[in-house]
């Protein structure tokens, strides 16, 4: 049972816009209760124009830690006092930790979270396989870093804005030389040759009960038909469950993964950083998130 909120209860939370759909409060508060920490985790809406004000104010208030989600993972970088080596390399932050000198240390636990489901079946040789990443935002950088760590020697990224793809590839060139851009109009060939397709865009995210959720897919029916049976399609979105993309992929004989396990694992990694505790109740976090989705 959660402890009552008192005048000494500390704050942790997630910044985003929108953020009311997030399962992070449910799973983190379940973990905090098991750990016996007098903390509360809240979803904190932060419009883009107010992000700097919100981040600075929360530091001044003694907030114990923050997650950062769409669309702020890159915008929050210059607001950090210091960056971890991984966050600096990615140019994207998903976790803020109080800095000893004041302000925030920006780091990134998305890579660890992203890899967890792909590694859950034991070691695999990914080196000869091809991966395609849809989208080129902050989450895509973490995904590419994870794919590099897996050892893939062929990684492509595609988005609707050609200039954004070019900038993304150039920004990752120093640590992901195997990365190449793909024009959205030429996506069929990349989809046909991909053993792993990862959607990092917000297209497909929808509130529970949204009647149009089934129509929200980042790929057209023609593009979906280019998927090869047996490929893994990984959608970082976890609401609704399954997304339109994963429903279509499963119907075409693909293995489908959603972003729930990534959410749990990146959240557990953040909680370790905030609390200083090596062991956090990952199972309780996952169970709470599953229950919330089922409800």
**Which runs of E-coded beta strand occur in 27-170?**
39-45, 65-68, 82-83, 95-98, 104-107, 130-134, 154-159
**Which runs of E-coded beta strand occur in 163-287?**
179-183, 196-199, 232-235, 255-257
Give the span between the Cα atoms of 158 and 137, in whole angstroms: 11
Angle between helices 282-294 and 24-35 (to 10 degrees): 140
Please identify which residue in the block is written with the tokens 């020697």: 153
- Minimal CA–CA distance to 133: which of 111, 161, 159? 159
82: which residues sit within 8 A by CB, 6+ positions away? 99, 105, 106
- What are 41's two structure tokens? 């985790």
Give the span between the Cα atoms of 4 and 83, in whole angstroms: 34
Catalytic residue, chosen from 73, 129, 130, 141, is 73
Q: What is the 3-state secondary structure (H, E, C) of 68-104?
A: ECCCCCCCCHHHCCEECHHHHHHCCCCEEEECCCCCE
Kind of pairing between the strands at 130-134 and 196-199: parallel
Given a contact cutoff of 8 angstroms between Cβ atoms, the answer to whether 60 and 78 are in contact is: no
- Identify whether 56 is a catalytic site residue: no
Which residues are the active-site residues?
73
């Amino acid at each position: 049972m959660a402890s009552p909120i008192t005048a000494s209860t500390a704050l942790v939370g997630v910044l985003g816009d929108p953020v009311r759909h997030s399962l992070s409060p449910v799973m983190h508060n379940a973990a905090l209760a098991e750990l016996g920490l007098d903390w509360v985790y809240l979803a904190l809406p932060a419009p883009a124009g107010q992000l700097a004000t919100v981040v600075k104010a929360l530091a001044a208030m003694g907030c114990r830690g923050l997650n950062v989600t769409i669309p702020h993972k890159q915008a929050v970088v210059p607001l950090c006092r210091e960056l971890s080596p991984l966050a600096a390399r990615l140019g994207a932050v998903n976790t803020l930790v109080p800095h000893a000198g004041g302000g925030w240390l920006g780091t990134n636990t998305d890579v660890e979270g992203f890899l967890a489901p792909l590694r859950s079946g034991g070691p695999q040789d990914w080196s000869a396989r091809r991966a395609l990443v849809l989208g080129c935002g902050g989450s895509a950088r973490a995904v590419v870093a994870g794919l590099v760590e897996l050892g893939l020697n062929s990684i492509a990224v595609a988005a609707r804005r050609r200039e954004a793809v070019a900038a993304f590839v150039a920004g990752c060139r120093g640590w992901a030389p195997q990365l190449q851009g793909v024009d959205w109009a030429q996506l069929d060939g990349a989809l046909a040759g991909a053993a792993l397709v990862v959607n990092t865009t917000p297209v497909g995210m929808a509130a529970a009960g949204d009647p149009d959720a089934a129509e929200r897919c980042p790929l057209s029916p023609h593009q979906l038909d280019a998927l090869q049976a047996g490929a893994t399609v990984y959608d970082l979105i976890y609401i609704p469950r399954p997304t339109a993309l994963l429903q279509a992929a499963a119907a075409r004989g693909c293995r489908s993964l959603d972003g729930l396990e990534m959410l749990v694992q990146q959240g557990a990694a953040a909680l370790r950083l905030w609390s200083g505790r090596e062991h956090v109740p990952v199972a309780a976090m996952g169970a709470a998130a599953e229950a919330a989705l089922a409800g």
